[in-house]
Structure 1
Amino acid sequence: MHFFSALALAATATAAAIPDAVLDKRTTTCTTAGSATLAAAKAAFTQAKLVPGVIPSFNPKVSVQVDYNGKQVNLGNTFSATETLNQPIDITFTAKPGYDAASTKYTIIMVDPDAPGPAAPILKDILHLIIDDAQPVCTANQNRKTIATYAQTTPLSVAAHRYTFLVYRQPPNYVPPPTLMYLPGNRAKFDLNAYVAQAGLIGPVGGNFFREGLGSTVCAVTPGCTQDGTGYKAPS
């Protein structure tokens, strides 16, 4: 037991703070998300039943952008497994009004609430990624820390899973709680909301999500089959 605890604690190790000299070089002009953009995100999360199915409430203050090698995640659009093999090349978000972008830090969490399938998600949530000390896109020279490395999306159902990215504001002097679920191969049944409460994270202040299932993956290369799985016939 001591061995596994040591592994979990090692996974939470954080790097040294950014020197003031680096902070001085950061940009100071930050954009914030418009009300229409935030309203669209809230509506999409509600319509997809991510609220209250995954998070109890959602009142976004920032807009979240996720880039998978040039394809943007856009509030429920469809991806195939080949498009999400690797970690997104960029996960960014706008500044939160009322908070200094140069000093306020955030945690990004990616989960799958539909494993092994939306009809019976008995393994929810699958933890796919945790990044700490993220800052708004306008902040240069960020020192982000990967706490839980990216786990590939491997949906086992024809029906699409809702792969969800959430951004939480960190309290001052934040230290992530130790958990064995940071380790690869031990990501099932991650209790997102319990983790957030234990860590003292605030939010989510923003989010985005995409859909992916066996149907969308097979239909990407199958004539007459749509990306949502319509027209895909499972093997008999």
Structure 2
Amino acid sequence: MSLKTHTQTLRTTLHPSSLHPGAASPLIPPDFTPTTELSVSFSSRAVELGTFFRAGECKAAPRISFPPEADSSVAVGETSYTFILTDPDAPTPDDPKFAFWRHWVVAGLKPGIYEENGEGEGRTLTKYLGPGPKDDSKPHRYLFLLYREPPNFTITPTDVGGEEFVQRRSFRPDEFAARHGLKLVGVNWMTCAGDGWVAPSPEEK
């Protein structure tokens, strides 16, 4: 998919999903145009701007990849990136009082492929904890956000927050990005339900 097509698809899927405008509005600027295509996949299954998954498919950290930015002012090889996976629907879409829940944060990424404990360069700031919506909850939406780091960027896990379950609640990627000079350059998203969730029949919707 070309970056232009990716951009058009991103915009057309965010609106009907009520992500933008909506739950993700604080995170994604109104005029946001990605400068790279952020690809994410669980095993061999790709996240394609709204793909539906079950929690059991997301137990292990996904593979991340992205090409160099389509921005001539960015020095390829000298620029690194921070990746955030967050849930705007925690604990449930009907009562997202813990949005945005912090699932995974990795800094120091370079264009190319990154796999936890595998290929690519990156520093884990928050350990991966897969989506876990309850079986009686509507599917949650999950946002994958890629930010360009400023020159000489340094950060520690403490700067992000603790690893405990309750410490991951109410994390604001937009405020975190503003505080550390990060610029949003790529977005992807998916939905996920519990393994036992049953989709309502057309009559029940």
CA distance in 2 between counterparts of 1:231 and 1:163 reads 24
Counterparts of 1:53-64 in structure 2, within 5 Å, are 53-54=23-24, 55-57=27-29, 58-64=32-38
How many matched pairs? 188
Instruction: Find the counterpart in structure 2 of residue 15 from structure 1.
Output: none
The reply on whether 1:83 has 2:57 as its aligned counterpart is: yes
Instruction: Find the counterpart in structure 2 of residue 95 from structure 1.
Output: 68
In structure 1, give the amino acid aligned to 2:144.
F
Structure 1 position 62, deviation (Å): 1.0
Counterparts of 1:132-211 in structure 2, within 5 Å, are 132-137=107-112, 142-156=120-134, 157-176=136-155, 178-179=158-159, 181-185=161-165, 186-203=167-184, 205-211=185-191
* Contact 1:147 1:182 (8 Å CA) reproduced: no
In structure 1, give the amino acid aligned to 2:129.
A
- 1:103-139 deviations in Å (ceiling 9; x for gaps): 1111100000001111110011110011101111189
Structure 1 position 37, deviation (Å): 1.7
- With over 3 angstroms needed to count, the CA separation of the structure-2 counterparts of 1:82 and 1:172, relative to structure 1, is same
* Contact 2:107 2:122 (8 Å CA) reproduced: yes
- With over 3 angstroms needed to count, the CA separation of the structure-2 counterparts of 1:65 and 1:114, relative to structure 1, is same
Structure 1 position 182, deviation (Å): 3.8
Alpha-carbon RMSD across the aligned residues, in angstroms, is: 2.3
The reply on whether 1:118 has 2:118 as its aligned counterpart is: no
Instruction: Find the counterpart in structure 2 of residue 72 from structure 1.
Output: 46
Instruction: Find the counterpart in structure 2 of residue 129 from structure 1.
Output: 104
CA distance in 1 between counterparts of 2:10 and 2:58 reads 22
CA distance in 1 between counterparts of 2:14 and 2:153 reads 27
CA distance in 2 between counterparts of 1:180 and 1:67 reads 24
* Contact 2:125 2:160 (8 Å CA) reproduced: no
Structure 1 position 194, deviation (Å): 1.1
TM-score by length of 1: 0.72
Higher normalized helix content (fraction of residues): 1
CA distance in 2 between counterparts of 1:75 and 1:56 reads 14
**Greater displacement, 68-77 / 51-60:** 51-60
Instruction: Find the counterpart in structure 2 of residue 49 from structure 1.
Output: 18
* Contact 1:33 1:61 (8 Å CA) reproduced: no
* Contact 1:106 1:133 (8 Å CA) reproduced: yes
Give unmatched runs, 5+ long, in structure 1.
Answer: 1-31, 220-224
TM-score by length of 2: 0.83
Instruction: Find the counterpart in structure 1 of residue 81 from structure 2.
Output: 106
CA distance in 1 between counterparts of 2:13 and 2:110 reads 24
